[in-house]
Structure 1
Amino acid sequence: MERYLKHCWYMAAWANEIGENGLTREILGRPMYFYRLESGKLNAIVDRCPHRFAPLSCGTRKGDNLVCGYHGLTFAPDGHCVHNPFSDKIPVGANITTFAVEKRDEIVWMWGGKPEEADPSLIPPFPFVPDAPNWRTVTGYTLMQANYEYGTDNLMDLSHIEFVHKGTFAGDGVIFAGKHEVIQEGDTLHSNWWMPNIPPPSMAQGRVAEDAIVDHWFDMQWYAPATMRLFVGACPHGEPREAGFAVPFAHILTPANDHETHYFWSSSRDHDTDSPEVDGFLKQLFGEAFDKEDKPIIEAAYKNVRGKDFWQEKPLSLGIDQGGTRARRMLETLIKREQVQDA
């Protein structure tokens, strides 16, 4: 079976990561170079000259063309070699694979298959990421030494917060009083927690009275292969959700290769939007939660089974982990479906 889903969009970067010199990043086992053309349009090309495999990102630019810094072969944005300094003849096989890229919601997306098959309508929606009047988002990134599906397991089973996140935003046991459900809508999977009639969780402090009783929820949405949106909310007990508030988060995983994962995250808010202090606090809080709490346990668990088949290791089921289990099964089905379609 193919390792990766192809007919889908993978997050390559936050838009502000791609500066004047572009960005190099391994994605789906390939070294990639993301850069802007003179028009401002984004381009993505495998960062490897076909002559002696030097990174094109280490060369120079000639207009929109890339000049290899090793022997001077020049490549157009579509990957075709357009100049050979040693001959008028372009060598056979001198073209480089390129990928379709789109910027949406301050996110740079890369299509996993052939550029001509890219469908922008399939880009997952993250309208809450861009800053707006009275709206502020902080973003982050970390590289995990683990296969991306193990990151999905973690995010689709938020019961782990009671144990992993004791130093940041553990729920003081509220998970155990909650109800978990997994719902499938087409190729989208929902892994939701509903925790009614509880004291205000930490994220509600300052937004409700200290002696209030609230209903609390986590709604996680999964889009194949590993793009997730989380809404964490609370409202007065017994009232409709609209009477309270919800905070949106992005949790997006992109395979660097079989054993490493790019983990992009964001946190948005509608208060203190001009406060660098709040920005700094949230970056520190979530940086600690993901880098110092999630990442070590995911990496350690993956190290125990690295290179082995997940199902053959016979993982136990606790019921509350069905979000990750079903995401794995759905992904397997989608990849097999692609294989049939592409045969």
Structure 2
Amino acid sequence: MTGFLRNCWYMAGWSNEVGDAGLVREILGQRLFLYRLESGAPAAILDRCPHRFAPLSLGTREGDLVVCGYHGLKFGPDGRCVHNPFGQKIPAGTTIPAFAAAERHDAIWLWGGDPAQADEGLIPDFAFIPDTPQQRSVRGYTLMKANYEYGTDNLMDLSHIEWVHKGSFAGDGVIFAGQHSVRQDGDTLHSDWWMPNIKPPMVAQGLVPEGQTVDHWLRMRWNAPASMRLDVGACPHGRDEAEGFDIPQAHILTPASAHETHYFWTASRNHDLASVEADQYMLDLFRQAFDVEDKPMIEAAYANVRGNLDAGGDFWAERPVSLGIDQGGTRARRLLESLIAREAAAHG
């Protein structure tokens, strides 16, 4: 896991992805097998038997044990081999990597470092994801062929909406009429846009009578390594924000490897909560935005520098030009670098 922050939580998948058969997913450059114990709690081990390297996901389950489908070695959720069908002795070198796993906010999370140091209190707060009587979320998944920090750049700089999302969210230049600010609270970053006294954008239409204006905001929260919450809101111009609406979204990036990223996302609404048609409309809109608009641009931009990165360069060696509005992504990169360096120093 060289180059990745270890002592933090990575989202591995949605809760409903880890059913009876389990889930195989590459995370931090390793192929992992996620499954559920008899208690229903999640577990995660390397999907590779140390004997002849067969995927353990192709085996069977015996209670909380995973039985290799090739030669019958049995492994516990802590990665230890507990049974050798060819004798009593367990050969040396049979323990495989295991990861601390937790279920929170309808998602499965993995701790990237020593399982003994895993602290569930550090899982970022996405409590809004599960449905409530007042709010409903649709959710999705996108695999991007780009390093996850390039996805962070995109999400922490929402000015790209006006250019990239012309088929979905573009707002006729309203972002450029606003004010951008970046602030840091401990190890949490906030990249916010405030757009006062503007014509109601698509998300706020119907909030005020025709001809009146609104105050509109986009507020992005970032926690390392790349878990982001976006609040999209508006209220009648000059009024208290509580008189309008504030709807959260989740944008959570997990590195599959140095060159691929799992992008988990949600979009919430507070109207038509039982409407299947509203669900489908939102899914279609966000898939257009992420799969058709964001994904090709991010992948193409990353492809333009990947050769240099593979040759030992880094993002900063490419001499990226700063436009000011990209300070959210820049500061997220710097903060992540400092956290990784701090971790490396603590481990000598």
Q: TM-score over 0.5 for the alignment?
A: yes
Partner Cα separation in structure 1 for residue 7 and residue 38 of structure 2: 28
Q: Determine what percentage of the aligned residue pairs are the same residue.
A: 66
**CA displacement at 1:2 relative to structure 2:** 3.9
Contact 1:142–1:264 (CA under 8 A) maintained in structure 2: yes
- Which stretch of the first structure deviates more once superposed, 156-165 or 70-79? 70-79
Preserved CA contact (<8 Å) 1:190 1:219: yes
Distance 1:208 1:13 in 2: 39
Q: How far 1:78 moved relative to its partner?
A: 1.3
| Structure 2 counterparts to residues 185-334 of structure 1, below 5 A | 185-306=185-306, 307=309, 308-334=313-339
Offset at residue 54 of structure 1 (A): 1.0
- What is the CA-CA distance between 1:134 and the residue it aligns to? 2.7
Equivalent positions of 1:1-343 (< 5 A) are 2-306=2-306, 307=309, 308-343=313-348
How far is the alpha carbon of 1:295 from its aligned partner? 0.2
After superposing the two structures, state which structure 1 stretch, 140-149 or 2-11, moved more: 2-11
TM-score normalised by the chain length of structure 1: 0.98
Q: Secondary structure at the match of 2:92?
A: coil
| Superimposed CA distance per residue, residues 125-183 of structure 1 (whole angstroms, 9 cap, x where no aligned partner) | 01110011132110000100000000000000000000000000101101111110100
Q: Is the 8 A contact 1:31 1:47 kept in 2?
A: yes
> Secondary structure at the residue paired with 1:19?
coil
Q: Displacement, 1:275?
A: 0.4
Deviations 1:38-61 (A, max 9, x none): 111111111111111111001111
Verify the 8 A CA contact 2:41 2:103 in the aligned structure 1: no
CA RMSD of aligned residues (A): 1.1
Amino acid in the other structure paired with 2:261: T
CA contact (8 A) 1:75 1:81 kept: yes
* DSSP 3-state at the match of 1:257: coil
Deviations 1:67-86 (A, max 9, x none): 11111111112111111122
In 2, Cα distance between equivalents of 1:188 and 1:63: 40
Matched residues in 1 for 2:335 and 2:289: separation?
A: 28
SS of the residue 2:314 aligns to: coil
> Any idea what SS the aligned residue of 2:89 has?
coil
Q: Is the 8 A contact 1:200 1:210 kept in 2?
A: no
Aligned residues: 343
Mapped to 2, the partners of 1:210 and 1:98 lie a distance apart of 58
Residues 185-207 of structure 1, C-alpha deviations (whole Å, 9 max, x = no match): 11000000011110000001233
Give the distance between the partners of 1:80 and 1:174, measured in 2 at CA: 57
For residue 232 of structure 1, report the CA deviation from its aligned partner: 0.7
| Matched-pair contact (CA < 8 Å) for 1:2–1:335 | no
Q: 2: distance between equivalents of 1:267 and 1:176?
A: 24
Distance of 1:43 and 1:330 partners within structure 2: 30
Deviates more, 1:296-305 or 1:203-212: 203-212
Scaled by the length of structure 2, the TM-score of the pair is 0.97
- Provide the rounded CA distance (Å) in 2 between the counterparts of 1:332 and 1:134: 39
Distance 2:115 2:62 in 1: 23
SS in structure 2 of the partner of residue 228 of structure 1: strand
Is the Cα–Cα contact under 8 Å of residues 218 and 232 in structure 1 kept in the other structure?
yes
Query: Which amino acid is the alignment partner of residue 15 of structure 2?
Result: A
SS of alignment partner, residue 167 of structure 2: coil
Aligned partner of 1:316: which letter?
V
State the one-letter code of the partner of 1:14: W
- For structure 1, list consecutive stretches of 5 or more residues without a partner in the other structure: none
Name the SS of the counterpart of 2:256 in structure 1: strand
Q: For each residue in 1:8-53, what CA deviation from the matched residue of structure 2 results, as whole angstroms up to 9, or x when unmatched?
A: 1000111111111011100001111111111111111111111111
Deviation of 1:240 (Å): 2.2
